[in-house]
Chain A
């Protein structure tokens, strides 16, 4: 089954067109309490476009995962989000930070808490904004909503609304994010392998990006894959971006993995559905050719932009694939990042609801 055969991706100009459609229902805007300077960018555009009421749900994230230097940005983002929500007559609620000891469990705890709160059931249209949320949080959060949206209509957990995933994309700003340390490898919540006997053949598909070499190396060491198919961003706004990523990862790709050049996969930097389709085809092909040798496990990992990460999420969700993750220990900023904001681009992926009925 293909959930997103004819997907709807709105970028920049079409974003305004999409959100200026008539409607009275309030919108639920779910946003992380992170420090990312782009945290309020989508909301600003949304509030400027729609006349509908926008209620907010601020997902509280652990403070100690950010540098002391950027913590004031968290408060600034929170205040700005509150202002924008108030402008629409909406209310800003908070998703409390659950008690946790293992950061690997946090995403699942937040997702379960969000669902348990019942807030989703009160809305027909929800935007999950992921610019200021780590992958380990937004993957399970979005999966939870997708599972309910794709549940049979008769089931109690079915939710029939419109889910949007929105992000403010800016590769230059991504590079200004300082990520320190690596945590042990763990599957992202909701994306562990199909349990049972281990796969005989493991294919690892890392979506590569800048500044993530240590984490990619750790994943490679722990996964010990039989085959590696790295994904590079192409086409990309900066045509040399893929080259730079290869250069940064050269020791891993050529000395350690000794990669087959024909295994390199290209996916459009600004279209996660392109990655979703490519990975889906790759999975089908490997399944077909290698399953006579025993079970085949395709493991995805995302080291690139948030936007492309959504492509990974959708592929893994649809095909039941494992997504492995090595998180940074803490986040910070190399420099303010404000001067890079001119390259901000808004993307909205409409994932469930009206376009698919």
Chain B
């Protein structure tokens, strides 16, 4: 039997060293660069998001290695080069204008706080190791983008520092690139050997009092064979949340220096559970450019970037999927349609039987109702003309609208027949979406299917989109293996996404520290959401997907003394921090609703599938802090959609 490869299971941007940068760049959606603002070079660019939203991918796209590959294969990456040219990353000939060098902050730094003898020694060691990593990455980048006819690249490159950076440059190895490399290697080895020691070592620390590397590179010129190269260094600091709090503050303070003439981007995971911070001189927006990737993703399609229109984020996702799946689909099945076209293909009559059962049942319920039989006659007649899934959707929509209508006190007095215009006025896309959810729950008609809902399920998170697409592509491979073509029915899509949601849930304890506490919190939120979503009149159509804590309550929760006083508060604090940090809850802080300020907490859209909830960020029901704290102490029934899952016959 032929062996197939799932293109969505290839690895993430953090693992591209050995899979081929060219292949990675071919699957990179150039539109993703529109997530970055127009201002890129003068001030610190502070990029925040949940894990998997694409922070590292963005940094990789401007790294020296990537720019080198792009320069060599311009014809294969024209769209990407065009965007990069607009940003000023490459020149009009596709040659690198900047030299991005990425420094991951995840390894070795945090432990320094514990392993050095005192805080001063810890700070000095941290700064020296960070200097060594920055200079080491800078040298790697030089080796990537500078060409020499023979011999070592570093032997012909020098850094010409500005007057204020000369002393700092001497501290990190001097102007010769060879010297910089040697210093970086030596310093890193000394520090890591010292940190890794399992026997006590009492020799004094040789550390740094400041971050010399950024001062040395500020306003510097790269000389190749003593001629200015025109390449500007771009420092890319990745995963700042991995640093200890004191280290992070030290670094951010250094990067906020207004005198710095060094392009610098910094990424970290977003956490809504920390006090409002003051970084730099306390006027953050003046000294840095904040970029919240999820918010930028939601704004795509509505804003311009570098003088051009942006496309919606959904288009970016479809583009990424197409880049990955097109070739395998063509190779394995001769399929010319794109991945998303296959998801949106017509199901034929597969759903007719279920739809007919739904129509019969709902029609009967409506006709059996005693009140005002003639009032809805034209609505019913109109619905009778529809067939299949469309008919089922209309009848369920009518049931919600009529349920609401029956509550009107004047109904008995004025039982006049309602027109179709009135139906439209009383209904809308939200009610129709709510109706679809009700149909899934009662009759097993698929809801979580199609490219649009797949995009929504990704929750502005590219990694989540790729994981879900991988599961759907697995199903396509099954169909291809059985020689039934790559089409994937909506039922199979719903079943596959439901299974993915369930797996996502089951994996929480294994993958997240404090996972069972997080699940406890999410179960309570999900229960609240289900109760509100499945009320007969669908008052918050299409449904509720979140809860909210007032900003005052949030402030109380951030106070450790308050947490000791309220039973369950510490558990709530831990669970909220973990859930937000791992993208299981989406937090929108300081939102103004109902004359108060709120932190709204939406369930991850993938979790919504398990609980049969809609996929919007709309409806929420607020709860006081004390009640949420009690959630952490009280067991709650896990109200899932088990019956619906069984009914999704995927045989």
Contacts and interface: CB of A to CB of B under 8 A. Distances in A.
A195 B198 contact: no
Interface in A177-217: 179-184, 186-187, 189-192, 195-197, 213-214
Interface string A95-112: 000111110111111011
Interface stretch (B59-67, B105-113, B255-263, B308-316): B105-113
A255 B513 contact: no
B387 interface: no
Chain A: interface size category:
35 or more
Contacts, number: 118
A108 B509 CA distance: 27
A195 B136 CA distance: 13
Given A180-B514, A192-B196, A105 B14 contact: no
B114 interface: yes
Contacts of A218: 511
B198 A100 contact: no
Contacts of A107: 198
A142 B284 CA distance: 48
A140 interface: yes
A180 B199 contact: no
A222 B193 CA distance: 22
Contact of B9 (A105, A182, A214, A256): A256
Given A115-B200, A181-B509, A181-B511, A224 B244 contact: no
Contact of B114 (A105, A143, A224): A105
Interface in B180-199: 185, 188-189, 192-193, 195-199
B510 A182 contact: yes
A256 to B, nearest CB: 6
A106 B115 CA distance: 9
A329 interface: yes
Chain B: interface size category:
35 or more
B510 A224 contact: no
Contact of B513 (A109, A115, A144, A180): A180
A187 B111 contact: no
B513 A195 contact: no
B515 interface: yes
A24 interface: no
Contacts of B6: 255
A213 B510 contact: yes
B479 interface: no
A101 B110 contact: yes
Contacts of B511: 181-182, 214, 218
B590 interface: no
Interface of A: 98-102, 104-109, 111-112, 115-116, 140-141, 143-144, 147-148, 157, 179-184, 186-187, 189-192, 195-197, 213-214, 218, 221-222, 224, 226, 255-256, 258, 329-330
26 contacts: A102-B110, A102-B111, A102-B113, A105-B113, A105-B115, A106-B114, A107-B198, A108-B111, A112-B199, A115-B200, A180-B516, A181-B511, A182-B510, A182-B511, A182-B513, A184-B106, A186-B107, A189-B198, A190-B196, A192-B108, A196-B185, A196-B189, A213-B510, A224-B11, A255-B6, A329-B513
Interface of B: 5-6, 9, 11-12, 14-18, 106-108, 110-111, 113-115, 185, 188-189, 192-193, 195-200, 242, 244, 507, 509-516
